[in-house]
Structure 1
Amino acid sequence: MRALVVEHGEAGPVRFADVEDPVPSGDEAVVEIRHIGLNFGELNYIDQWPAGAVHGHDAAGVVIRAAADGSGPPAGTRVAVGMAPHAWAERVAVRPASLGTVPESVDLAAGAALGIAGVTPLRVLRRRSLLARDVLVTGASGGVGRFAVQLAALAGARVTALVGSPDRAAGLRDLGAGEVLTDLAGTGRRFDLVLDTVGGPLVEQAWRSLAEGGTIHLVGYSSGQATTFPPGELFGFGEPRAIATYGDMTPTGGELTDLLGLMAAGKLTAPIGLRGDWRDVGDAVRALFARKVPGKIVLDVL
């Protein structure tokens, strides 16, 4: 079967290769993949994975063999695969804990857009009540950011979306952002929660706009820059503020099911900015790195 494997060097970050069909263990289902979802981190930091390994974590398809132990969905079930290894192949073996059942009313391709981009903000935003609180989402035009804006608004937050340029702001108010900014310098708001996907100097700026008792959750570092705090910046009186890391890669089936339920109810949309053929993955990767695509890139496995 064909798969996208890790390629180090100028020809990368991925290439097509013929690989062996998966041999499932007793607690794994075999899924025929129909769509894959690209993520910036797994493609930009490709050296973290061994060359030649089947790459990718997010996809969607149909179960063609149920797990032998009887767990998980039966054959014929449409499923989303989230944060599971080796997902960018024609067929993958997956534990049911990493699968979410896609309702018939939801486009299967939308399931491939979830995974890392949808589960990450859901887990962060569930950590505290957001009703009538001020939430800042940085890098709001990306896949994680567009899901975060929608989910925070659904939870009753007053959402501010921060983007890198005015042309990246399109559609964010329709998703639930009450305010869209390109710079934090002029805002007088104090945020109870900051979901940061950018890192670098922006974290220090967000810290200065953080309310007492507030938290910055670091879920990405797309800027690739260091964060530096001036002397005394992290000292203060009043209710403690915090910076929290995020690195939870535990099974995502429950969250995928919740997100797909919101989609079926018409409360959440998949922010797919580019849909194409996986044979054109090179063009899709270049568009992703050039920041030319708002939201997610989903490729059809043909």
Structure 2
Amino acid sequence: MQALITTPQTPTGLRLDEVPDPTPGTDEVLVEIELFTVVADHFAHAATLPTGSVPGFDAVGTVVRGTGDGSGPAVGTRVATLLTGNAWAGLRAVPAGELATVPEEVDPGQAGVMLIPGVSALRAIRRLGALTGKRLLITGAAGAVGHFAIQLGRLAGAEVTASVRDLGARDRLRALGAIEVVTSLADLSAPPHDVIDTVGGPLLAEAFDLLAEGGVIQQVGAGSGQPTTFAPYQLIGRRRRIESFYAGDGFGPDLAYLLDLMATGRLMPLDGERADWHDIEAVAQRLNAADTPRRMVVATR
């Protein structure tokens, strides 16, 4: 099969080459990959892998061989897959617990764009516990995780505030369910009880200071690229906490839940620019451009 493999010989550190087909285990299905999604950080991750590795996390494709134990979807089923490695390839062996059927009502590219940010948002919100009637602050809300966290927070009963760098996305974020959109945490109308933080840096320390007693911050990302500095005693004597986020595994049921929300119109999808894997150098340049898209959908065929 063809795959994008790591190499020190190209600007992106990748080349399209022939590699052996994967051999599925008895609890795995073999998926012919139709498309995968890419963000700029994925290239940085690929650079850490040994030469000849196949990178990638999320991909959509069609089952071409079922599981040996009969536990997975049937041959011909379009599925969404999420696990670490071997996504940027023509074929992928996937444990049955790490995939979900893509409903006919869902565009496969929109399904692919949703996988990582959607699962991250869902699992972060679940870790916050009951949210009905509580104020939930989402930082970096104009990003992909924020796009889904606003909607899932609203579905969980929270009153969602979106924090963004500028108000250009205000109407979109309100349409997703945010009751308040701010560019400064000083403008919050009330303290948040919980926070999903995708920004980090000084904003994380500021959000902690504003957090209601008993509140929790789930730090899902650090898009600012800046360290967070806390003042002396800022973390002492307060009944509130910051939790690091770990997505875990066993994504199949959560993928199925999110895809069902999309299929029934309860979760608004997010589009990604489309490209071809033969143009991976151009994809890398596009993701590092000034007007970079959130994610790009890369077709393998």
Q: TM-score, normalised by structure 2?
A: 0.92
Count of residues paired in the alignment: 300
Please state if 1:64 is matched with 2:80: no
Q: Which residue number corresponds to residue 99 of structure 1?
A: 99
Q: Which residue number corresponds to residue 113 of structure 2?
A: 113
Identity in percent: 42
CA distance in 2, matches of 1:64, 1:37: 21
Q: Which residue number corresponds to residue 298 of structure 2?
A: 299
CA distance in 2, matches of 1:36, 1:88: 7
* Structure 1: 4+ residue segments shifted above 4 A: 7-10
**Secondary structure at 1:213 match in 2:** coil
Q: Which residue number corresponds to residue 242 of structure 2?
A: 243
Q: Which residue number corresponds to residue 190 of structure 1?
A: 191
Q: Which residue number corresponds to residue 171 of structure 1?
A: 172
- Specify whether residues 236 and 201 from structure 1 end up closer, same or farther in structure 2 by C-alpha distance, changes over 3 A only: same
How far 1:165 sits from its partner (Å)? Answer: 2.8
How far 1:169 sits from its partner (Å)? Answer: 4.3
How far 1:267 sits from its partner (Å)? Answer: 0.4
Q: Which residue number corresponds to residue 80 of structure 1?
A: 80
Deviations 1:61-99 (A, max 9, x none): 110110112121110111001234211111111111110
- Specify whether residues 145 and 7 from structure 1 end up closer, same or farther in structure 2 by C-alpha distance, changes over 3 A only: farther
Q: TM-score, normalised by structure 1?
A: 0.91
Superposed counterparts of 1:79-228, under 5 Å: 79-127=79-127, 128-169=129-170, 171-228=172-229
**Secondary structure at 1:35 match in 2:** strand
- 1:243 maps to amino acid: I
Superposed counterparts of 1:41-52, under 5 Å: 41-52=41-52
- More displaced 10-residue stretch of structure 1: 18-27 or 179-188: 179-188
**Secondary structure at 1:144 match in 2:** helix
CA distance in 1, matches of 2:146, 2:14: 25
Deviations 1:162-212 (A, max 9, x none): 222333546211111122222223324211111111211111111122111
- Specify whether residues 140 and 13 from structure 1 end up closer, same or farther in structure 2 by C-alpha distance, changes over 3 A only: farther
The answer on whether the counterparts of 1:192 and 1:211 sit within 8 Å (CA) in structure 2 is yes
- 1:205 maps to amino acid: E
CA distance in 2, matches of 1:145, 1:131: 19
How far 1:223 sits from its partner (Å)? Answer: 2.0
The answer on whether the counterparts of 2:24 and 2:30 sit within 8 Å (CA) in structure 1 is yes
- Specify whether residues 243 and 13 from structure 1 end up closer, same or farther in structure 2 by C-alpha distance, changes over 3 A only: farther
CA distance in 2, matches of 1:6, 1:185: 45
Q: Which residue number corresponds to residue 259 of structure 1?
A: 258
The answer on whether the counterparts of 1:271 and 1:296 sit within 8 Å (CA) in structure 2 is no
CA distance in 2, matches of 1:44, 1:168: 28
How far 1:33 sits from its partner (Å)? Answer: 0.8
- More displaced 10-residue stretch of structure 1: 82-91 or 117-126: 82-91
Q: Which residue number corresponds to residue 284 of structure 1?
A: 283
CA distance in 1, matches of 2:151, 2:277: 28
CA distance in 1, matches of 2:50, 2:205: 34
Deviations 1:251-291 (A, max 9, x none): 20010000011111110122114233333333333333446
How far 1:294 sits from its partner (Å)? Answer: 5.3
- Specify whether residues 124 and 186 from structure 1 end up closer, same or farther in structure 2 by C-alpha distance, changes over 3 A only: same
CA distance in 2, matches of 1:169, 1:289: 24
The answer on whether the counterparts of 2:62 and 2:75 sit within 8 Å (CA) in structure 1 is yes
CA distance in 2, matches of 1:261, 1:151: 13
CA distance in 2, matches of 1:9, 1:182: 43
How far 1:40 sits from its partner (Å)? Answer: 4.4
Unaligned stretches of 5+ residues in structure 1: none
CA distance in 1, matches of 2:272, 2:174: 16
CA distance in 2, matches of 1:197, 1:141: 10
How far 1:10 sits from its partner (Å)? Answer: 7.2
